[in-house]
């Protein structure tokens, strides 16, 4: 795996851990707020039920008060006229009615105070609930944004990993193509060497055939080739004197003869030289007859035209 691939794998691990952390935080937040919201819902229901109960009691007390006033009025209308001068009867009724009214009024005031307190508490709880809902919305919005960012990062990382995979595949294909090309080049090189050897062989054979037609009569007259197959190159031409690149170290001696020929696109037999001077590495020969063409530097000089055993 390349360095870029390792870096991308590490980044993917880091992003996975971050996404996991966000998921845990989101789950914890949702669980906390959901529980708080459920508790507030139950408490609000209880408060509403208490408020309904208190309201029912207040309505009942108000109705009883109205009924009491109505009953007092009826009693005053239908009081016996004979008892109208007896002050105690009216006073007892009025005192009893006032005491009952004060008690009922006190109860009503207490109920009103309790209802107001409950209403205030309910309003406070609603305010807290709204704050909690706002906080939950903010948390949810932040979590959604983080999830979107994480999704974008994951998609980007996935695209980069896909590009990296494609690059690795292209690299592998190029490597395979290179190996294939190198094998083909080596094969062609070996084939070229073989073809070159065959061409050299054909050229020598062609030169031999031409030499046999042009120098068959002269080949047997004055020929004194070395016993071993020796082959060199013409290094210098000075009139009838020809310098070659082989000498005594190769087994040449004075008065021996070598055949001159030229290879290439138009191989030709040139003529024969007789060695008049032999050194360790070089020799000098003299043309023994009229050459078929002018001798040039780079022509072949060999004990035989084919240069092979």
Annotate the chain with DSSP letters as a single string: --HHHHHHHHHHHHHHHHHHHHHHHHHHHHHHHHHHHHHHHHHHHHHHHHHHHHHHHHHHHHHHHHHHHHHHHHHHHT--GGGTT-HHHHHHHHHHHHHHHHHHHHHHHHHHHHHHHHHHHHHHHHHHHHHHHHHHHHHHHHHHHHHHHHHHHHHHHHHHHHHHHHHHHHHHHHHHHHHHHHHHHHHHHHHHHHHHHHHHHHHHHHHHHHHHHHHHHHHTSS----SS--EEEEEEEETTEEEES--GGGT--TT-EEEEEE-SSS-EEEEEEEEEEE-SS-EEEEE-S--SS---TT-EEESSSS---
pTM of the model: 0.33
**pLDDT of res. 88:** 54
**pLDDT of res. 309:** 38
Last residue of one domain, picked from the residues 154, 171, 188: 171
- For residues 150 and 276, membership in a common domain is answered with no
- For residues 143 and 227, membership in a common domain is answered with no
- Asked whether residue 122 is domain-assigned, the answer is yes
- For residues 86 and 152, membership in a common domain is answered with yes
The count of structural domains within the chain is: 2
- For residues 65 and 141, membership in a common domain is answered with yes
Q: Residue 280 belongs to what domain range?
A: 220-302
- Asked whether residue 38 is domain-assigned, the answer is yes
- Assign residue 235 the CATH number of its domain: 2.40.10.410
- Asked whether residue 308 is domain-assigned, the answer is no
- For residues 153 and 256, membership in a common domain is answered with no
**pLDDT of res. 4:** 64
- Asked whether residue 206 is domain-assigned, the answer is no
- Assign residue 114 the CATH number of its domain: 1.10.287
Q: What is the mean pLDDT of each run of 10 residues along the chain (309 residues)?
A: 68 75 71 71 80 80 76 54 49 66 82 88 89 88 88 87 87 86 82 76 64 48 84 93 95 93 85 94 93 92 67
């Amino acid at each position: 795996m390349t360095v870029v691939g390792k870096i991308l794998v590490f980044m993917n691990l880091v992003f996975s851990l971050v996404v996991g952390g966000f998921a845990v935080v989101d789950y914890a937040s949702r669980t906390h707020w959901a529980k708080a919201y459920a508790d507030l819902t139950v408490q609000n229901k209880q408060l509403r039920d208490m408020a309904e109960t208190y309201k029912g009691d207040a309505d009942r007390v108000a109705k009883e008060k109205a009924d009491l006033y109505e009953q007092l009025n009826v009693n005053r209308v239908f009081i016996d006229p004979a008892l109208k001068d007896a002050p105690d009867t009216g006073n007892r009724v009025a005192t009893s009615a006032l005491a009952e009214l004060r008690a009922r009024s006190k109860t009503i005031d207490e109920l009103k105070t309790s209802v107001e307190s409950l209403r205030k508490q309910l309003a406070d709880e609603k305010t807290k609930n709204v704050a909690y809902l706002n906080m939950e919305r903010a948390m949810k919005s932040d979590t959604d944004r983080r999830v979107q960012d994480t999704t974008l990062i994951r998609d980007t990382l996935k695209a980069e990993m896909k590009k990296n995979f494609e690059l690795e595949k292209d690299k592998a294909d190029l490597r395979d193509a290179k190996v294939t090309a190198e094998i083909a080049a080596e094969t062609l090189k070996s084939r070229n060497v073989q073809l070159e050897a065959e061409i050299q062989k054909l050229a020598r054979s062609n030169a031999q055939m031409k030499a046999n037609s042009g120098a068959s009569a002269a080949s047997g007259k004055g020929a004194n080739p070395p016993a071993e197959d020796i082959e060199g190159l013409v290094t210098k031409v000075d009139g009838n004197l020809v310098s070659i690149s082989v000498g005594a170290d190769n087994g040449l001696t004075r008065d021996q003869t070598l055949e001159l020929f030229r290879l290439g696109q138009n191989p030709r037999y040139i003529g024969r030289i007789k060695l008049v001077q032999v050194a360790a590495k070089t020799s000098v020969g003299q043309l023994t007859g009229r050459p078929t063409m002018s001798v040039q530097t780079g022509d072949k000089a060999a004990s035989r035209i084919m240069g092979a055993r």
